[in-house]
Amino acid sequence: MRPLWQVCRSRLEAWSALTCLALSGLLLSPSDPAHAAPDSVALDYRLQARALAPDVYVVEGANADFDRVNGCNIINTGFIVTGAGVLVINSGPSRLYGKQLRALIARTTAEPILKVLHLNQHPDYFLGNQAFVDVPRAATAATQAGMQSQAAGYTSNLYRLCGEWMKGTEAVLPSVLAQAGTERLGRREIELLELRGHTDSDLVLIDRSSGIVFAGGLIFSQRIPTTPHADIKAWQASLQTLSTLPHKTWVPSHGSLALASEQLSRAETDLVAMTQRYLVWLDQAFQAAAEQGLDMVEVLNLPVPAEFRRWAGFASEYTRNVANLYPRYEQAVLRQGKH
């Protein structure tokens, strides 16, 4: 076993390198010219409304990392036509996205926008709000606090990553409080669950009429989960809660929509179990590595199951998982006096 001073020094060196990369944004987007948005291409997100059930729509983003090619559009937003107006679920990563989302909704239904609901505090959940300043924008108290404290950094970072796609984008915060419970909106009954783990407050929207669940950032589909505000134990508990729900049509905020299909296995369509598998592996791997006294660079070189290596965002997002989370495991082991 290495002396404590060597362990601490190597960890500090690894932490410094990874932290500098994460904070500088170098891990957030490819930097070579091939990933630059062509000047000749109009800035059009080409949003499409995909009907999951009558009057329930999802607008799919790229299953990728933030990039100039996708205009930082890696989120699955959605909207529900209620008969009393349209409930919008998240507003996207930019002013332009919000504007084009609102235009898409207008092409899809004549009903007015009733309100916008934000499922958590991350930037692509609310930076499209400039297109919805005339309607209520709802989020939980914890999500509003997170947006308030992080908004300037979010906006600056996405400007750096996606350039002209972000032109004119300014953070417009929620205007009303969202709370857990059931609400009748027109002909639809909407239930909100407030869980946590991906962030301090993760809303889950259940449309009881169709059985469709907009699960926000608690589940990821074929994509490495993002973890800047994660609490793994709380996240696992929230997934256990979701696994008890009778509804089986899940809309993740990030990743492909693996809906029930004869061509897909159960492992590919059970998105709750998919995310659980990753978090269980991550938790166990990081705990074992910390007990062995490995530093972050050594953790990055450990084998990763083939299933996860195939997921979108692996090269950058797994590195951020290590930078965000592994120091907590090291600190816990050191507090226990094991090294």
Question: Which CATH number is 31's domain given?
Answer: 3.60.15.10
3-state secondary structure at position 63: coil
The stretches of the chain forming alpha helices (DSSP H) are: 4-24, 95-108, 141-162, 232-243, 266-269, 271-291, 296-300, 306-309, 319-335
Token pair in block for residue 226: 């993002």
Checking if the pLDDT of 311 tops 60, the result is yes
Contacts 24+ apart (CB under 8 A), 260-268: 268/222
Domain extent for 44: 4-335
Radius of gyration, alpha carbons of the chain: 20
Residue in the structure block whose two tokens are 């590595």: 289
Residue 91, helix vs strand vs coil:
coil
Number of domains in the chain: 1
Is the Cβ–Cβ distance between 89 and 119 less than 8 Å?
Answer: yes
Whether 177 and 138 have beta carbons less than 8 Å apart is answered as yes
pLDDT at residue 263 above 90?
no
* pLDDT 10s digits, 7-59: 444 444 444 445 444 443 433 443 333 334 444 358 999 999 999 999 999 99
Positive or negative, the Cα torsion across 217, 317, 311, 289? negative
- What backbone torsions phi and psi does residue 252 show, to the nearest 5 degrees? -80, 155
Residues 183-233 have pLDDT tens digits of 999 999 999 999 999 999 999 999 999 999 999 999 999 999 999 999 999
pTM of the model: 0.87
pLDDT at 237: 98
pLDDT tens for each residue of 105-145? 999 999 999 999 999 999 999 999 999 999 999 999 999 99
Give the separation between CA 55 and CA 111, rounded to whole angstroms. Answer: 11
